[in-house]
C-alpha cells in the first residue's frame, strides 16, 4: 500500500477496516468458541481469534447463582461477541448472553415440537413467578402454577421440574410457561390408564374429597368418581353429609364408566341388600302398617314403611271429609301414621298408600248409627240453588233437596224458609257410602206427609176440602188437625164463616169435627184452613149447577137445591 502524505479521517477508517475487517467481519452478535488464556482476579481472559482478547467475569461461568466457577487456563468455552473492540481495545464478550442465545435456540426447537422443557422457579414478580430455562428467563403466571390454587409456592422453588411453553417472542425476549399444563397432561395420562383398569360392577375403596348438595366426589387413586345422593342409601337422604364426611374412606361400587368423558358414577347402596325384593309379598294390598312421614308435597305425603321403602299417600287418600286442603294441614313431618296398602309396583319401586282407609268410613259409621228413617239434627252449613247441606256426626254432610224441604210450596220458596247457621231436624231418606252421599228430608217430618194428610188417605193439597178436628180454641181462631192423624194447622177467626156471628171461636168445642178448605201453608210449613173459603167455593159451584143469573131463582132456592142434592147423595 502506498504511503499517503496527509491521510484523512476516511483514509484512516479505511486502513483500520482493512486491517481488522476481513477476518473479523460478521463476528458481532454471534456465539463463538474461545480459549481461556489467563485468569486475573475475578475475570477470565479469553481469545476468540480476534486481534484482541476479551474479559468475562468468572461468575458468568458458575453452574448456578452463588456457586463458584470451575474454570482454568486452556479451557474451551462458548461466548457471545457483543462488540469486536471497545474503547480499551478489547473484545466485548459475554458468557451469559452466549448461554441465553443457546437456550433460545433450543427452546424454539422444543416449542415448535410442543415438547416439555426443564426449568427452575427462582423469583416472584407481579402476577406470577420467574423461571430459569437453562439461561433464558420465562414468566410463569400464577394461574398456571398448579391445577388448583396454591397458597404457598415456596416448596416448588429452586427445584428442577418440567414446564410447557405457551408463548414465546424472541425479538421481545418474552417466554410464557405453564406448570399446570404439564400436570393436567400427566393427570390425563394417569386417568386414562386408571380408567382402563376399572370396570363396571367393581367394588373399590376411595377417599371423599368434596361434598355438594347433589352428591360427593370420591378419589379412586388419581381419578374422581361421583357418588350421587340417590345412590348413597335406599332410604331417603336429604344431604350427603348425613352419611359421609370429607376425608372418609368409603367402599363403593362402580355403576357406570364413560371412557369418552372419563366420568365415573359410583354407588354405596348397591353394596346393601335391596329392600324392594319381595316387597309385594311383604306389603299385601289391603294390609295395614305403621310408617313415618318423611316428606310433604302439594300432592301428598311420603311415608317410610322401613328404611329404603317409601310409599305415597295421595292428597285424595288422606281424609274422608277434608277436601281440597294442603297435606301439611292433615299430617306433619316425622309423624307416625297408620296407612293401608292400596297398590304395589315393585318394578317401578312405588307403593300407593291410603291414610283415610286406616280409619272407619264416616258414611258407613253414620249408616250404622242412623239407618234410613232415623231423625237427625244438624246445622245448615250451606244453601245452594238446589238444596241445603246439613252438618251431621263425624264431619259428614247430608243434603236436603229443595223438593224435600216443605209441602205445598215451590222449591225456591222452600229454600227461602231456612238460612245458613240454622239448626234443623230432618229424616234420613237414603245413604250411599260409596258415593259419600246422605239424602235428608225436612217436610217428611211434618204430619200429613204424602198419603197421610187426611183420614181417608187423600193428599193434603191446596184448595182441598178435608174434615178437621178442633185441637185448641184461642181468641185468634182454632188449632185443628186434618183427619185423626194428619197435619196440624190453624183457622183464623175471620175464616170461621162468612157471617160475623159464625166467626166466634167460642161456638166450637175441642174434639168437634167439621169440613174446611186448605188455603195454603205458613212459613213453618203448617197448613192453613178456612171454612169461609169453602163456603164461597160451594156457592159458586151451586150457582153453576142449579141456577143462573137469568133463571129467576133466588140464591136461597139454589142453595136449598144444592143442600137437598147433597143430603140425598
Instruction: Give percent helix, percent strand, percent coil of the chain, each to the nearest 5.
Output: 25, 35, 40
Look at residue 453 in the predicted model and tell me its pLDDT: 42
46: phi then psi, degrees, rounded to nearest 5: -130, 135
Kindly calculate the radius of gyration of the chain based on its CA atoms and give it in whole angstroms. 58
Which domains are present in the chain? 31-113 (2.40.50.140), 114-184 (2.40.50.140), 198-271 (2.40.50.140), 284-353 (2.40.50.140), 362-445 (2.40.50.140), 465-546 (2.40.50.140)
14: phi then psi, degrees, rounded to nearest 5: -65, -40
- The terminus-to-terminus CA distance of the chain in angstroms comes to 187
Q: DSSP states of 503-556 as a string?
A: G-GGGS-TT-EEEEEEEEE-TTS-EEEEHHHHHHHHHHHHHHHH--TTS---HH
Threshold 0.75, pTM exceeds: no
Number of C-beta neighbours around residue 469 at 10 A: 20
Which residues are bridge partners to 124 per DSSP? 129
Number of C-beta neighbours around residue 339 at 10 A: 25
Number of C-beta neighbours around residue 350 at 10 A: 13
Q: Which residue's entry shows cell 414478580?
A: 125
Distances (CA, A) of 185 to 90, 182, 536: 50, 5, 119
d(CA 285, CA 79): 95
Query: Residue 223: in which H helix or E strand, if any?
Result: none
* Alpha-carbon dihedral sign for residues 153, 157, 160, 165: positive
Look at residue 544 in the predicted model and tell me its pLDDT: 73
| 8 A C-beta contact, residue 275 and residue 288 | no
- pLDDT tens for the chain, 569 residues long, are 444 555 654 555 455 445 444 444 556 667 777 787 888 787 878 777 777 677 777 777 766 666 676 777 788 877 777 666 665 667 777 666 777 777 787 888 888 888 888 999 999 999 999 998 877 889 999 999 988 888 888 889 989 999 999 998 888 888 999 999 888 888 777 777 677 778 888 888 889 988 999 999 998 877 888 999 888 888 878 889 888 998 889 999 988 888 777 788 999 988 888 888 888 888 999 999 999 999 999 999 999 998 888 899 999 899 888 888 899 999 999 899 999 999 999 888 899 999 988 888 888 888 888 888 889 999 999 888 889 999 998 888 999 998 888 876 777 888 888 888 889 999 998 888 888 889 998 888 875 443 334 434 445 778 888 888 888 888 889 988 887 667 778 899 999 998 888 889 999 998 899 999 988 876 556 788 999 999 888 888 877 766 554 544 455 555 555 555 555 55
Torsion angle, alpha carbons of 419, 420, 422, 424, to 10: 80
The distance from CA 224 to its chain's CA centroid, rounded to whole angstroms, is 29
Q: Give helix 555-568 / helix 531-546 axis angle, nearest 10°.
A: 100
What the block records as the C-alpha cell of 150 is 396454591
d(CA 80, CA 98): 5
Amino acid at each position: 500500500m502506498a504511503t499517503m502524505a496527509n491521510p484523512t479521517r476516511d483514509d484512516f477508517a479505511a486502513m483500520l477496516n482493512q486491517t481488522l475487517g476481513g477476518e473479523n467481519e460478521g463476528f458481532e452478535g454471534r456465539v463463538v468458541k474461545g480459549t481461556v488464556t489467563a485468569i486475573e482476579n475475578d475475570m477470565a481472559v479469553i481469545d476468540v481469534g480476534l486481534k484482541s482478547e476479551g474479559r468475562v467475569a468468572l461468575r458468568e461461568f458458575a453452574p448456578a447463582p452463588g456457586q463458584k466457577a470451575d474454570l482454568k487456563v486452556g479451557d474451551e468455552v462458548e461466548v457471545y461477541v457483543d462488540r469486536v473492540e471497545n474503547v480499551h481495545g478489547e473484545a466485548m464478550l459475554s458468557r451469559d448472553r452466549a448461554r441465553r442465545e443457546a437456550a433460545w435456540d433450543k427452546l424454539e426447537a422444543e416449542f415448535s415440537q410442543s415438547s416439555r422443557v426443564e426449568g427452575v422457579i427462582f423469583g416472584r414478580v407481579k402476577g406470577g413467578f420467574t423461571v430459569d430455562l437453562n439461561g433464558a428467563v420465562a414468566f410463569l403466571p400464577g394461574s398456571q402454577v398448579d391445577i388448583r390454587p396454591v397458597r404457598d409456592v415456596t416448596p416448588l422453588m429452586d427445584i428442577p421440574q418440567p414446564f410447557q411453553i405457551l408463548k414465546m417472542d424472541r425479538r421481545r425476549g418474552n417466554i410464557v410457561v405453564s406448570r399446570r399444563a404439564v400436570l393436567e397432561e400427566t393427570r390425563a395420562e394417569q386417568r386414562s390408564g386408571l380408567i382402563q383398569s376399572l370396570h363396571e360392577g367393581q367394588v373399590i375403596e376411595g377417599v371423599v374429597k368434596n361434598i355438594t348438595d347433589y352428591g360427593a366426589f370420591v378419589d379412586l387413586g388419581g381419578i374422581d368418581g361421583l357418588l350421587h345422593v340417590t345412590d348413597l342409601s335406599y332410604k331417603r337422604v336429604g344431604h350427603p353429609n348425613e352419611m359421609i364426611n370429607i376425608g372418609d374412606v368409603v367402599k363403593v361400587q362402580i355403576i357406570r364408566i364413560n371412557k369418552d368423558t372419563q366420568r365415573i358414577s359410583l354407588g354405596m347402596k348397591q353394596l346393601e341388600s335391596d329392600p324392594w325384593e319381595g316387597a309385594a309379598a311383604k306389603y299385601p294390598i289391603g294390609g295395614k302398617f305403621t310408617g313415618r312421614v318423611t316428606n310433604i308435597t302439594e300432592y301428598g305425603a311420603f311415608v317410610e314403611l322401613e328404611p329404603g321403602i317409601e310409599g305415597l299417600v295421595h292428597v285424595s287418600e288422606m281424609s274422608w271429609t277434608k277436601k281440597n286442603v294442603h297435606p301439611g294441614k292433615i299430617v306433619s313431618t316425622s309423624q307416625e301414621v297408620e296407612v293401608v296398602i292400596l297398590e304395589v309396583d315393585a318394578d317401578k319401586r312405588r307403593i300407593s298408600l291410603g291414610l283415610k282407609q286406616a280409619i272407619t268410613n264416616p258414611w258407613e259409621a253414620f249408616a250404622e248409627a242412623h239407618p234410613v228413617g232415623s231423625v237427625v239434627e244438624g246445622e245448615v252449613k250451606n244453601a245452594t240453588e238446589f238444596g241445603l247441606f246439613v252438618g251431621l256426626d263425624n264431619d259428614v254432610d247430608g243434603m236436603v233437596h229443595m223438593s224435600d224441604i216443605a209441602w205445598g210450596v215451590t222449591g225456591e220458596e222452600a229454600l227461602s224458609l231456612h238460612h245458613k247457621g240454622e239448626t234443623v231436624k230432618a229424616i234420613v231418606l237414603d245413604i250411599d257410602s260409596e258415593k259419600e252421599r246422605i239424602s235428608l228430608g225436612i217436610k217428611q217430618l211434618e204430619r200429613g206427609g204424602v198419603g197421610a194428610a187426611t183420614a181417608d188417605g187423600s193428599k193434603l193439597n191446596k184448595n182441598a176440602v178435608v174434615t178437621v178436628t178442633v185441637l185448641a180454641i184461642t181468641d185468634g181462631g182454632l188449632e185443628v188437625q186434618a183427619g185423626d192423624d194428619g197435619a196440624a194447622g190453624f183457622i183464623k177467626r175471620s175464616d170461621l164463616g162468612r157471617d160475623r156471628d159464625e166467626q166466634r171461636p167460642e161456638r166450637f168445642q175441642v174434639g168437634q169435627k167439621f169440613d174446611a178448605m186448605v188455603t195454603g201453608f205458613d212459613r213453618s210449613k203448617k197448613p192453613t184452613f178456612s171454612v169461609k173459603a169453602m163456603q164461597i167455593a160451594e156457592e159458586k159451584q151451586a150457582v153453576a149447577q142449579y141456577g143462573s143469573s137469568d133463571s129467576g131463582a133466588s140464591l136461597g132456592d139454589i142453595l136449598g137445591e144444592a143442600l137437598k142434592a147433597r143430603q140425598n147423595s
